Structures are given as structure tokens and as C-alpha cells.
Amino acid sequence: MKLAHKVAIVTGGGRGIGRAIAMRFAAEGAAVTLAGTGRDHLEATAAEIAAAGGRAQAVVADVSDEPAVARMTEATVGRFGRLDILVNNAGIAGPTAAVADAALAEWERTLAINLTGAFLCSKHAVPHLIAAGAGRVINITSVAGFIGYALRSPYAASKWGLIGFTRSLALEVGAHKITVNAIAPGAVRGERIGAVVRDRAAALGRSEAEVEREFYVDTTALKQMVDPEEIAATALYLACDDARSITGETVTVSAGFRL
């Protein structure tokens, strides 16, 4: 049990990468708050964890809403008594559009969830991590945080920003034995990449199969997408004591995406 007696918040915890991380953390002994906006998915994941003998609660919270983030954090400490790990996973794909055609509201919403949400969750979690005597913050960014990404500029900007936020927060809280790291997945199998492929194919006037192969498979050394459980395994490593001297870093899990 690598996370026995630990308490974690996983935002976006009801589906995809967040669900995989929450399930893995709970299997390793952590009590987990699953946060997000989709109540049904959150409660289903929490129920699955409980059925396997773990501890979990579902909290509906929009991470771009500071009062909601404060309630989420207090609900975690109120239920489980402490907070040791924060996983900032909540995110949206944003629009698939050229900058000249993108709506300001779509730009603002993408940054609000993907970047401001991580800031707000960290702001409210850090005092509790300090009180615990040590802690972990793990931000889920993307390989889009290293590259130019035509037709996805809001998403790329948010993920570049998240890497800078990771490095900056690591310097602020290191003296409290809190590590702050990021994971940059490549294309991860699941609903989101399916929607991204569909929207990109429509924007380019090409087939979904062509877009998936050219942009998300052939660009990798292993010629494959990544499974959510692979991201969860990396998150577990960064959350446990084995990684206690790693901070301010971004770990890429991308099947060898060509940066």
C-alpha cells in the first residue's frame, strides 16, 4: 500500500485519466475525493472504489469557481481529516478553430478550466499540505504544452501555462516538503481524443481515420496511443515516497511523441 493513510483530491475524477488515477490511488490505500461537474460519473467511480474496499467521496465542483473549490477542499478535510495529494486533472479540449475564427468566450473558458482551475485548487490545497508536513501536487498537462498546435491554440496555451505554473509553485512550497510536478500525456485513448479527432477531421475536411493516424499515431515512436492506466501509474510514482526528491519537473508519457 504505497499511499496508506494518505488523502487525495483528484479533479476531473469521474472519467478518463482522472478516473484511472483515482482508482489506482484508492487501490494503494488512499482516501480519495473525486471532484468534477458530472455527478453521475463521479458517484459511479466513488461507488466502484467503495465496492472494492476503498474510501472515496464524490464532490460536484467547477474548478474555475473559487467558492466551489473552497467547498471541495473543506469537504475533503472534513470527511477524511487531512489532505496529502492534489491532482489537477480537470480540463477541457477547447475549440478546434483558427485563431481568427475562435470565439473569445471559448478561449476564456479553456484557460479558466485548464489553468486557472489548477491555480485555484492549489491555492486552497497548499495550506492543508503544509499542515500535513509534506505533500504532492500533480498537474496533468499535455505534450501540447511543448509544441505549436495549429487549430488548438487555447488548449496549447493553457498547457504551456500549466508547465510554468508547476515550476513556479515547486519553488514556493519546496521548503515545506511539498513536491509539484506535471505529467504530459500524449494522445490518450478515450472519449476526449475521439472528439478531438472528429473535430479536427471536420475542420480539415479529411477522414477521422486519416487524422488519427497522421496526427496522433504516426507521430509517436511506438505507433500507438497511451492508455489512461499508464498515466495513473506515473501519477502514483510521483505521489509516493519514491519520488520525494523530484519536483518542478514535467514527465512525458506519450509513446514517444515527436516533440
155 noted as active-site residue: yes
CB 247 within 8 A of CB 179: yes
Q: Are 90 and 36 in contact (CB under 8 A)?
A: yes
Q: Nearest-CA neighbor of 118 among 169, 43, 60? A: 169
Catalytic residue among 149, 155, 216, 237: 155
CA-to-CA dists, residue 75 to 6, 44, 185, angstroms:
15, 19, 29
**In whole angstroms, what is the distance from residue 27 CA to residue 254 CA?**
24
The kind and range of the H/E element at 86 are strand 85-88
Looking at the DSSP bridge assignments, the partners of residue 254 are none
Cβ-based neighbour number of residue 126 at 10 Å: 21
Sheet holding 55-60, edge to edge: 55-60, 31-36, 7-11, 85-88, 135-140, 178-185, 250-253
Would you name the residues annotated as active-site residues?
155
